[in-house]
């Protein structure tokens, strides 16, 4: 193999540098170990590149859109250029708007507030709560969990075809289009990691006169997302899952519903002109650009961190770290398959394409207890519970009871079976050793049991140090 080929092969195997990669944590059994952060699906560590870019900008921090001074002008340019960077990262269409929000949850609540009157919303019960719950004020149809991608498309097509045909007929007879409708779907499950057939769902939505919004919170950190290619109307994601801290998110897509809606927040920045009326009231002319829904002083550092992460991922090349992540996924799945007591949760089956998010249960263990032992005895951080996707996890777990053990699940009500799972998630910054340690730890805990005693404290399973 040539030197060039060796270098390319090494780059394929190297994780992107992230903050926290050198942090050590104490073990209850004694000593310290480097912390294995395997909870990327909740919040991914910040890329070192993002942190360095933010640190370089920090001395020049200034007000955005409001100042004549040099730092204000620089910060405004940085903010607006970040909007361009995100639009390029998402491969947006001409005329699409990029609105900066606080998170995916905030983005989808913004879109929910912008729905046209009498809009119908269709959402699968498998969604994360961020995309399941914002539509409470609309007419919502919740679709049952599909067991194949094809079933997901067929389920949506049936629901859209069946929507209030009499009302649609009356509207058409009066020269109006069909009742507005919106489909909300995830790109990758935050529970199983499985990829959803977004392009096919978008085609089904559009064939029935509906629009579609893509929750890309778990997809964008792992795969390129093209608004044009997927043909979605909007896409939402969070910076903190894209290796960018500081609490910012994105809603990008068609401008018309956003322009027609009342501002998400009323205040400075959203208003273009404000004047007193003779009767003592106030007239307001709102912006029609993305600023309409960005009232208040914007989180310029959060926005810049998202743009920096978009650039870093694009420049590193999705192909390289997607290939590496698939290798890590195989390591985890093959390792768990060697433990008969482990059941991996899945909607679409073993062969479904997926990102680095895997949930499972262990026979004989309560999941909270197992996760606590991974942390305290191996320095491995995972997630346990229902992952803010309660209907989906309960569907996947069915009625299987979990052993109560020394710690119970905080979600379990009195008399209710303890239902919770363990989720391991990783990405571009995960070292091989963290994944290998996790697989080894699962095997040892199942074979030998925990080395320490645990108890429930404030709803969490913790080592008993008494």
Complete DSSP assignment for 343-369: EE--SS-TTS-B-SEEEEEETTS-HHH
**Contact in structure between 238 and 103 (CB atoms under 8 Å):** yes
Residues 385-401 have a mean pLDDT of 84
CB-based contacts of 154, cutoff 8 Å, min separation 6: 146
Residue 407 has pLDDT above 60, yes or no: no
Measuring CA to CA, which residue among 335, 387, 317, 380 is closest to residue 357? 387
Q: How far is CA 432 from CA 13, 20, 160, 279, 445, in A?
A: 8, 15, 45, 69, 20
Could you give the percent of the chain with pLDDT greater than 70? Answer: 90
Q: What is the pLDDT of residues 337-370, one digit of tens each?
A: 999 999 999 999 999 999 999 999 999 999 999 9
Rounded to two decimals, what is the model's pTM? Answer: 0.91
**Contact in structure between 34 and 22 (CB atoms under 8 Å):** yes
Q: What is the pLDDT of residues 254-304, one digit of tens each?
A: 999 999 999 999 998 988 898 999 998 999 989 899 989 988 999 999 999
What is the CA 79 to chain-centroid distance, rounded? 23
CB-based contacts of 157, cutoff 8 Å, min separation 6: 204, 207, 208
**Contact in structure between 219 and 238 (CB atoms under 8 Å):** no
Q: How far apart are CA 92 and CA 274, in angstroms?
A: 32
Q: How far apart are CA 46 and CA 339, in angstroms?
A: 33
Could you tell me how many helices (H) and strands (E) the chain has, helices first?
15, 19
Catalytic residue (choose from 92, 184, 310, 388): 388
**Contact in structure between 424 and 439 (CB atoms under 8 Å):** no
Measuring CA to CA, which residue among 180, 185, 149, 175 is closest to residue 163? 180
Is residue 388 annotated as part of the catalytic site, yes or no?
Answer: yes
Q: For residue 399, what pLDDT band results from cuts at 50, 70 and 90?
A: low
């Amino acid at each position: 193999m040539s030197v060039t080929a060796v270098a390319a092969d090494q780059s394929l195997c190297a994780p992107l540098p992230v903050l926290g990669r050198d942090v050590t944590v104490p073990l209850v059994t004694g000593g310290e170990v480097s912390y294995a952060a395997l909870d990327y699906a909740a919040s991914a560590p910040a890329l070192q590149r993002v942190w360095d870019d933010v640190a370089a900008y920090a001395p020049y921090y200034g007000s955005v859109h409001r100042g004549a001074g040099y730092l204000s002008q620089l910060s405004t340019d940085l903010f607006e250029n970040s909007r361009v960077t995100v639009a390029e990262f998402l491969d947006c269409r001409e005329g699409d708007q990029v609105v900066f929000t606080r998170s995916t949850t905030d983005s989808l609540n913004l879109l929910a507030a912008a729905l046209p009157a009498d809009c119908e919303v269709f959402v699968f019960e498998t969604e994360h709560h961020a995309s399941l719950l914002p539509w409470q004020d609309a007419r919502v149809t919740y679709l049952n969990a599909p067991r194949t991608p094809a079933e997901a498309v067929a389920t949506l097509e049936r629901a859209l075809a069946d929507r209030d045909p009499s009302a649609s007929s009356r509207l058409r007879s009066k020269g109006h289009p069909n009742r507005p409708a919106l489909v909300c779907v995830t790109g990758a499950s935050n529970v199983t990691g499985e990829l959803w057939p977004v392009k096919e769902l978008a085609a089904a939505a559009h064939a029935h006169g509906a629009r579609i919004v893509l929750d890309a919170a778990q997809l964008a950190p792992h795969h390129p997302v093209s608004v044009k290619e997927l043909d979605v109307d909007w896409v939402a994601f969070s910076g903190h899952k894209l290796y960018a801290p500081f609490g910012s998110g994105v809603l990008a897509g068609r401008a018309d519903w956003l322009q027609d809606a009342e501002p998400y927040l009323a205040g400075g920045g959203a208003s273009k002109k404000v004047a007193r009326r003779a009767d003592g009231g106030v007239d307001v002319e709102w912006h029609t650009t993305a600023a309409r829904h960005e009232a208040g002083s914007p989180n310029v550092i959060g926005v810049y961190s998202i743009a920096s992460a978009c650039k870093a991922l694009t420049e590193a090349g999705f192909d390289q770290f997607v290939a590496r992540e698939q290798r890590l996924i195989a390591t985890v799945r093959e390792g768990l398959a060697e433990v008969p007591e482990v059941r991996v949760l899945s909607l679409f089956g073993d062969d479904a394409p997926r990102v680095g998010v895997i949930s499972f249960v262990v026979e004989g263990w309560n999941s909270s207890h197992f996760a606590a032992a991974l942390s305290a005895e191996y320095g491995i951080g995972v997630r346990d519970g229902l992952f803010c996707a309660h209907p989906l996890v309960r569907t996947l777990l069915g009625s299987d009871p979990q052993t109560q053990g020394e710690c119970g699940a905080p979600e379990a009500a009195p008399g209710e079976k303890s239902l919770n799972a363990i989720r391991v998630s990783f990405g571009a910054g995960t070292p091989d050793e963290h994944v290998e340690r996790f697989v080894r730890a699962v095997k040892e805990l199942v074979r030998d049991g925990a080395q320490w005693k645990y108890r429930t404290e404030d709803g969490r399973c913790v080592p008993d140090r008494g």
